[in-house]
Amino acid sequence: MSETFLVHYILCTLPHQYGPFKISYNTHKDKWSINELMTMCVQEEERLLMEEGEKVNLTVHGKKRKHDTKGKGPVPAERVIKKESTCFFCKKKGHMKKDCIKFKTWLEKKGYGKPKETNGK
């Protein structure tokens, strides 16, 4: 395999974070050797790490859950909709969108209401 093919293959397999790096390579007239590519990749990786900053994983030890997510044990009951729920259409409390009078009249105006009865003649 030729060195230019290997350089091209390595560039194609880099993750999407290296997009600007690939564009930079393609805009330069001179082509890199594998050693130059490796050096540039290390520099780009260091730049990406500095740009991203540090990450911290938070783990908390606490009580175990009663319901296992693997299907063992009783199935939790579905959440009951409370009367304090808010309508997404008129933003008033006490009913849901499907029961909203304003929503139903709006649907009828748009032509999405209940189908009108036909005579069959």
Q: How far apart are CA 61 and CA 79, in angstroms?
A: 27
Q: pLDDT of 57-78, one tens digit each?
A: 777 777 666 555 555 666 666 6
Q: Distance between CA 12 and CA 46 in Å, rounded?
A: 19
Task: Report the residue count for the chain.
Answer: 121
Distance CA 6, CA 35 (A): 11
Q: Does residue 6 contact residue 30 with C-beta atoms inside 8 Å? A: no
> How many whole angstroms separate alpha carbon 19 and alpha carbon 25?
10
Q: What is the pTM of this model?
A: 0.40
Whether residue 118 has pLDDT greater than 60? no
With cut-offs at 50, 70 and 90, classify the pLDDT of residue 30. confident
* Lowest-pLDDT range of 7-21, 90-104, 105-119: 105-119
Read off the amino acid at residue 14: L
Q: Which residue ranges make up each domain of the chain? A: 3-52, 81-113
φ, ψ of residue 86 to 5 degrees: the values are -110, 140
H/E segment holding residue 9: helix 3-12
Inter-CA distances, 53 with 17, 47, 50, 95, Å: 14, 10, 5, 47
